[in-house]
Chains A and B, each alone.
Chain A
Amino acid sequence: MIQGARVFWVGFVLHFKNLSVSPFMMVTAAAWPLVYATLAFLMFRATHQAPSLLYAALGAAVMGIWSTTATSAGGAIQQQRWWGILELLVAAPARLILVLAPITVAIAGIGIYSIASTLLWGRLLFGVPFHVEHPLLFAIAIPAAVLSIGLLGLVLASAFVLYRSASNLSQALEYPVWLITGMLIPLSLLPGWVSPIAWSLAPTWGMRAVRRAALGGDVGTPLLLCAVLSVVYTLLAMLLLHHFERLARERATLSLT
């Protein structure tokens, strides 16, 4: 257990560091969400309510976390393949989930730059007041959201060990997930049938936990649901990876050659 946690942590730090020195990744994580944030501020400013602007800022920030995960989680596995590292990772005795989870969680973790940049952007350009109701819970909600979103990315990435072009599938999920998880539009405005789908997605609860910690409200329930979904995603990814690893060894899809 401790060994597993160490493997996860060391892997997370390595991949976070590797991503942080990539100019492309940094632009995607820190600059891209500013576009969403600007659009959201302009829309929400019409209501003349400061909390709405912070609501919009946090929505844009979590959108940034999800965007980096959706666009890069699949690509990251493919990237390991291009670098010739995927085979080495699979050939290592560590469990595959402990090898791949740090990659997708680190990608979601890069979204922390999105939070910092959107909040700063909102403050400097739109005068969004940054007052957090529950600073401690806010500090817990952000890593909880990152972890659960990163593990959702892992479920998607599990398929990428086998299918070389599967990253396109994950990129196609970027916009629908924004819409149905209430990042910009409250879930109550969407049709009822959307809700069960939204509840099964970590960004819904991650978003809710971050917003309630900042703006006030029950933070415990969304945090708990983030944790439950993280466990569910982990178990699902373990099952998928076990199956996909065997198929990849059978079909010889781990390397480019």
Chain B
Amino acid sequence: MAVIEAINLRRTYRTTTGVIRRKPLEVEAVRGISFAVEQGELFGLLGPNGAGKTTTIKMLITLLLPTSGEARVLGRNVVDDAREVRKRIGYVFGGDRGLYERLSAYDNLRYFAELYGVSGKAQRLRIDEVLELVGLKGRESERVEGYSRGMRQRLHIARGILHDPEVVFLDEPTIGVDPVGARDLRQTIADLVSGGKTVLLTTHYMFEADTLCDRIAVIAKGQIVGEGTPAQLKDNVAGGRVTEIEVFGIDDSVVGRLRAIQGVTAVAVEDRDQKQLLVVQTTGERELTAPLLAELDGLEVGRVDSREPTLEDAYVSLVTSE
């Protein structure tokens, strides 16, 4: 039996526009998502901002009611059996917030241990264990306001696993953390999985997903556009080539013309200070550098490179093809 199951899950936000004459507005954040995560698996949800990753996680951890569809965690319905689900899961999100800043890390952990029903006798032992696991042992009596971003994030993880949950939801846990801190956090996440936990992770970082995840679902505009192991996702673009071109002042109409070239499967534009980096994926069946450069005629062009596709290219291909 799957530990996490989402079955045709949908979530619509209702809001209004205008000040005097308000008009109702519906935003479909998640549009019929289905997936299953097995025991001990590290499952990644990848997608751009606003794709519906956090909304999906919030439905699974009982903070949001689905508009339709069904979700179960450890066989329990997240709507009707919310309290039982909450007892068995841990939730960690990225960023600075979510902690009592003026209190110590120990105070924060003690409080959440109580909220999660960790018995009085076991509390000190368990808090010591999780502090050791996330590498904050010896710093627990310091006020959180003096912690670095990385330390706060590790404290978040410690809080999320205090009650030894079977399933841990990690929503962009390494966001804003420096490379060394992020590497330590990834090791902590890997340790959780090797310790038998089932983990659902959302992230923007391809390297992180590639290194950690057993399987990945790519979400775009509220729908799953690709699912599989990192190797399977990379296979979708195998045989293809990626051409990177530095340009200055490219606009949408040119990007549209590039997409229309036969053999081009995806085009992404990344802003790099004054210039842009065009990442063009092609089928690899024929050399397309010349036709690409022809479409850029009149624009200032910098470096041009060609390389093998990566997981990031597979992701870009999936997200931009929708």
Contact = CB atoms under 8 A, between A and B. Distances in A.
A91 B61 contact: yes
A18 B61 contact: no
Nearest to B59: A249
Nearest to B163: A93
Given A10-B111, A88-B91, A257-B54, 12 more contacts: A6-B114, A14-B100, A14-B107, A17-B107, A21-B102, A87-B98, A90-B63, A94-B115, A249-B65, A252-B13, A252-B58, A252-B64
A81 to B, nearest CB: 10
Nearest to A250: B65
A7 interface: yes
Interface of B: 13-14, 54, 58, 61-65, 83-84, 86-87, 91, 93, 95, 97-103, 107, 110-112, 114-117, 120, 159
B67 to A, nearest CB: 9
Given A17-B107, A93-B83, A252-B64, A83 B100 contact: yes
Contact of A83 (B54, B84, B97, B120): B97
Contacts of B101: 83
Contacts of A10: 110-111, 114
Taking residues whose C-beta sits less than 8 angstroms from the other chain, chain A's interface range is: 20 to 34
A88 B58 CA distance: 11
A22 interface: yes
A84 B117 CA distance: 21
Nearest to A92: B115
A179 interface: no
Contact of A3 (B83, B91, B99, B117): B117
Query: Closest 8 CB pairs between A and B?
Result: A84-B97, A92-B115, A93-B86, A84-B98, A10-B114, A93-B87, A94-B115, A14-B111
Contacts of B159: 88
Given A10-B111, A11-B111, A14-B107, A92 B99 contact: no
Nearest to A14: B111
Given A84-B95, A84-B97, A85-B98, A93 B103 contact: no
A110 interface: no
Contact of B63 (A17, A21, A91): A91
15 contacts: A6-B114, A10-B111, A11-B114, A18-B102, A83-B99, A85-B97, A85-B100, A87-B58, A89-B115, A91-B61, A91-B86, A92-B112, A93-B115, A249-B63, A249-B64
Contacts of B103: 14, 17-18, 21
A83 B97 CA distance: 5
A209 interface: no
A83 B102 CA distance: 11
Contact of A85 (B54, B99, B110): B99
A253 to B, nearest CB: 10
Nearest to B54: A257
B-side binding surface: helix, strand, loop or mixed? mixed
B63 A254 contact: yes
A60 to B, nearest CB: 28
A151 interface: no
B170 to A, nearest CB: 14
A249 B107 contact: no
A99 interface: yes
A246 B112 CA distance: 22
Among B14, B97, B110, max chain A CB count under 10 A is at B97
A214 to B, nearest CB: 34
B63 A87 contact: yes
A168 B63 CA distance: 26
A22 B103 CA distance: 11
Contacts of A251: 14
Contacts of B107: 14, 17
Contact of B117 (A21, A83, A94, A99): A94
B128 to A, nearest CB: 18
A200 B63 CA distance: 34
Contacts of B83: 93
Contacts of B102: 18, 21-22
A94 B159 CA distance: 15
Nearest to B119: A3
Contacts of B62: 91, 249
A22 B102 CA distance: 8
A10 to B, nearest CB: 4
A21 B13 CA distance: 38
Nearest to A81: B97
Interface string A90-109: 11111000010000000000
A249 to B, nearest CB: 5
A88 B159 CA distance: 10
B161 to A, nearest CB: 14
Contacts of A89: 115
Contacts of B84: 93
A94 B83 CA distance: 8
A11 B116 CA distance: 12
Contact of B116 (A18, A93, A255): A93
